[in-house]
Copies of this chain bind each other. A is one copy, B any other.
Amino acid sequence: MAQNLSIVILGSGNVATQLALALKRRNCSILSIYSKTLANAQTLAAKVKAAATNSLTQLPQNADVYIVAVKDDAIEELLSKLVFVPGLIIHTSGSVSSSVFAKKFASYGVLYPLQTFTKTRSIDFKKVPILLEANSPKAFKLIKQLASLLSKNITVINSEQRKAVHIAAVFACNFTNHMFTVAEQLLQQQELPFSLLHPLIQETAAKAQKGSPQFLQTGPAIRNDKKVMNQHLSFLKNEKGFKKIYTLVSKSILDFTNRNEGK
């Protein structure tokens, strides 16, 4: 297979790791991995046969694409220290505007993979939705080429849409995981294993992929079953944080239903 794009990756965390591995599998040449912590850069570099560096001034200048995959709140500082690169430069963040590149770079954009990444869990990138932004037709062509190596599920969006998607992902992933965490705590307090809830969690996720979740709601809140809800609140009396969530989310479920039925 002919060699694909040449890439520099800035970052060595979850997203950087999964991207580097996936692009290497698609025959890209990973020229260099940068991390503030050299050992982290070296760990990832060894996996994808790249050079490793902790110096932003030692990065190769000849890569087709520079992928900034560091934490959202570290992007600006990193860019302020990075010298101009002639290639395309992109970040992978859901929350940072693409204009962060505008001062210093000519060809830039965003490649936002809508998935939750951990270093140790391999992701099938082909199924990951990839949301793209670019500052020019030329940049767009190259970002799309890169994204197509990773996934068949590509959507072009604007910055406003990406913000909404990022918040939606916080609800669907981070907040959902917190609901699981609360559930786990409640079971642990009764010396019951969290695995009791695995089939329910699997079915809840599967259902939401078959239909619209707003029409799939069940449980005491949507039935406005005050007796059961009061029992639950009384049970949670020593868990004030969990009790507040129970009250607010139950109310939101009912409000949402009433609002839609009132239309």
A: residues with CB less than 8 A from B are 14, 71-73, 95, 114-116, 118, 121, 123, 127-129, 131, 153, 155, 157, 160-161, 163-187, 189-190, 192, 194-205, 207-210, 212-214, 216-223, 225, 227-228, 231-232, 235-236, 241-242, 244-246, 248-249, 251-253, 255-256
Q: How far is the CB of A12 from chain B (nearest CB, A)?
A: 16
What is the bound-complex CA distance between A157 and B193, given in angstroms? 12
Q: Can you report 21 residue pairs joining A to B where beta carbons are below 8 Å apart?
A: A114-B196, A118-B218, A121-B210, A123-B203, A128-B199, A165-B187, A165-B190, A170-B220, A174-B217, A174-B221, A175-B245, A176-B176, A176-B205, A177-B204, A178-B252, A180-B208, A181-B256, A184-B212, A194-B212, A202-B205, A202-B209
Q: Name the residue of chain B whose CB is nearest to the CB of A117.
A: B218
Q: A72-B225, A173-B204 are in contact. List 18 more A-B contacts (CB 8 A).
A: A114-B200, A115-B199, A115-B200, A155-B196, A167-B186, A171-B242, A172-B180, A176-B180, A177-B207, A178-B221, A178-B252, A178-B253, A180-B208, A180-B213, A185-B214, A201-B208, A245-B248, A248-B248
What is the bound-complex CA distance between A210 and B194, given in angstroms? 11
Known: A196-B155, A200-B115. A231 touches B121 (CB 8 A): no
CB atoms of B198 and A209 under 8 A apart: yes
CB atoms of B201 and A183 under 8 A apart: no
Q: How far is the CB of A168 from chain B (nearest CB, A)?
A: 4
CB atoms of A213 and B181 under 8 A apart: yes
Known: A173-B218, A204-B176, A228-B73. A168 touches B155 (CB 8 A): no
CB atoms of A197 and B169 under 8 A apart: yes
Of A171, A185, A196, A235, the most chain B CB neighbours within 10 A belong to A171
- Residues of chain B within 8 A (CB-CB) of A187 are 164-165, 168
CB atoms of A252 and B245 under 8 A apart: yes
Q: How far is the CB of A21 from chain B (nearest CB, A)?
A: 16
- Which of B164, B182, B235 is within 8 Å of A190, CB to CB? B164
CB atoms of B190 and A172 under 8 A apart: no
Q: How far is the CB of A194 from chain B (nearest CB, A)?
A: 7
- Which of B214, B236, B248 is within 8 Å of A181, CB to CB? B214
- Residues of chain B within 8 A (CB-CB) of A179 are 171-172, 175-176, 179
Q: How far is the CB of A248 from chain B (nearest CB, A)?
A: 6
Q: Name the residue of chain B whose CB is nearest to the CB of A193.
A: B155
CB atoms of B218 and A184 under 8 A apart: no
What is the bound-complex CA distance between A228 and B73, given in angstroms? 8
